[in-house]
Structure 1
Amino acid sequence: MKILVVDDMPLMRHVLINMLRKLEYNNIVEATDGLQALAFLHDQHFDLVITDLHMPKMNGVNLLDNIRKDEQLADIPVLMVTCEDSADTVKQVIKAKVSGFIVKPFNMNVLSSQLGRFFFRD
């Protein structure tokens, strides 16, 4: 499974990648914003995108919209991670056809549970 982790905060990317590795997901690529993520998505195949909501250049909702509008990328699961839990924001992300939603702070069990919705393990 190849996972693209998108977050403008290096520490958050580091924490998320460490959690993924502990859950035995090792094929991970990092992007610092939605624009870089889109470039990677057009250049490589990914099984899942985990993205932050608030980022410079292109935020998570805009990234998600671009993914869903692209015939080649539309079926990739996108997991949105954010510290924002307002009803309006959640509705906006759901309307954009997000595959899953995690509110920060979260632990490895929450991440594992969300990943289990996309990947079945032996």
Structure 2
Amino acid sequence: MRILVVDDMPLMRHVMINMLRRLEYEDIVEATDGQQAIKLLKASRFDLLITDLNMPKMSGKTLIDKIRKELNQPHLAILVVTCDDNKDTVLNLISAKIDGLMVKPFNLQTLKKQLRYSAIRHDKQSQ
């Protein structure tokens, strides 16, 4: 599985990548913001996007909208990471057809469950 991790904070990218490696995922690429993520997604195929919601230049929501509307990549599962758990944010993300959501802080077990859940959910949506 090829994974793209997008977060403007280097520490958060580092933590996520280390957690993914502990779960034995090795093919991981990182992007510092949504604009860089779009360039990477246009240049290469990924199976999973893990993105922060609140980022400068391009928010995670804008990134998701661009992916779903402009890049035509239905195979790409999307997992959102955020510290914002209010009802409106969650409903807005659900309408964007994400495959999973994790609220910070989270642990390795939460990530493992979300990865499994996101894969199942994405497979059902893709059918």
Q: Does TM, normalized by the shorter one, top 0.5?
A: yes
RMSD, matched Cα: 1.1
TM superposition shift of 1:73: 1.5
Give the distance between the partners of 1:75 and 1:46, measured in 2 at CA.
Answer: 8
Aligned-partner residue type, residue 96 of structure 1: A
CA distance in 1 between counterparts of 2:71 and 2:16 reads: 28
Residue equivalent to 1:94? 94
Structure-to-structure mapping, 1:24-43, within 5 angstroms: 24-43=24-43
TM-score (norm: length of structure 2): 0.90
- Partners of 2:10 and 2:89 in 1: how far apart? 24
Structure 1 gap ranges (5+) = none
TM-score (norm 1): 0.94
Instruction: Answer whether contact 1:2 1:27 (CA < 8 A) is retained.
Output: yes
The SS at the match of 2:73 is coil
Q: State the partner residue of 1:20.
A: 20
Task: Give 1 or 2: higher helix fraction.
Answer: 2
Query: Contact (CA 8 Å) 1:5, 1:17: kept in 2 or not?
Result: yes
Structure 2 residue ranges without an equivalent (≥5): 121-127
- 1:1-122 paired onto structure 2 within 5 Å: 1-70=1-70, 72-117=72-117, 118=119
The alignment of Structure 1 onto Structure 2 pairs a total of residues equal to: 119
- One-letter amino acid of the structure 1 residue matched with residue 13 of structure 2: R
Structure 1, 65-74 or 32-41: larger mean CA deviation: 65-74
Looking at structure 1, the residues matched to 25 and 9 of structure 2 have their Cα atoms a distance apart, in angstroms, of 21
